Amino acid sequence: MDAAADDVAIRPFDRADTDDVLALWRDAFPEYGDTSAPHRDPLRSIEQKCATQPELFFVATLHGRVVGTVMAGYDGHRGWLYSLGVGRGVRRAGVGRALVAHAEAALGALGCLKVNLQVLADNAQACRFYETIGYRVEELVSFGKRLYAA
């Protein structure tokens, strides 16, 4: 891990981080610009995570500034990783690896034996990253259904 990642602290999300996290996500996840999709509303994602397993929402900070995030979830069967985002200025410095390792350790402490995640098919950079840290494409089909409130 290089010097930038050595200086990074990972801690649970605090509501005071909201504006910094929103700014990071809007840069890291261009799909959040689609305001017609409620499931991609970043503020809603934060609010929902704060209501459900908030202890599994982590931020990475460097000199007091939020430079990365990861959300994790555990349903008693499998763990999930969501919203791994790293600021452009610290990418390729070990921040993403550190966040994933931190989330994996938190899931492991809960008894989780397997972690899943989903990546948009056209996000080759994310796919390469996850492969380098030991994740593999599984031969299955992911289904989803949107449950928008009426």
Q: Minimal CA–CA distance to 70: which of 113, 124, 133? A: 133
Q: Is residue 52 part of a domain?
A: yes
Tens of pLDDT along the chain (150 residues) come to 344 667 899 999 999 999 999 999 998 888 777 767 767 789 999 999 999 999 999 999 999 999 999 999 999 999 999 999 999 999 999 999 999 999 999 999 999 999 999 998 899 999 999 999 999 999 988 898 888 764
Q: Is residue 140 part of a domain?
A: no
Q: Is residue 147 part of a domain?
A: no
Task: Provide the token pair at 19.
Answer: 């504006």
CA distances to 7, 32, 44, 89 from 79, in Å: 28, 24, 21, 29
Q: Is residue 150 part of a domain?
A: no
Q: Which DSSP helix (H) or strand (E) runs through 131? A: helix 124-132
Q: Is residue 144 part of a domain?
A: no
Q: Which residues span the domain enclosing 13?
A: 3-132
Q: Is residue 69 part of a domain?
A: yes
Check which CATH number belongs to the domain holding 86 and give it: 3.40.630.30
Its pTM stands at 0.90
Number of domains in the chain: 1
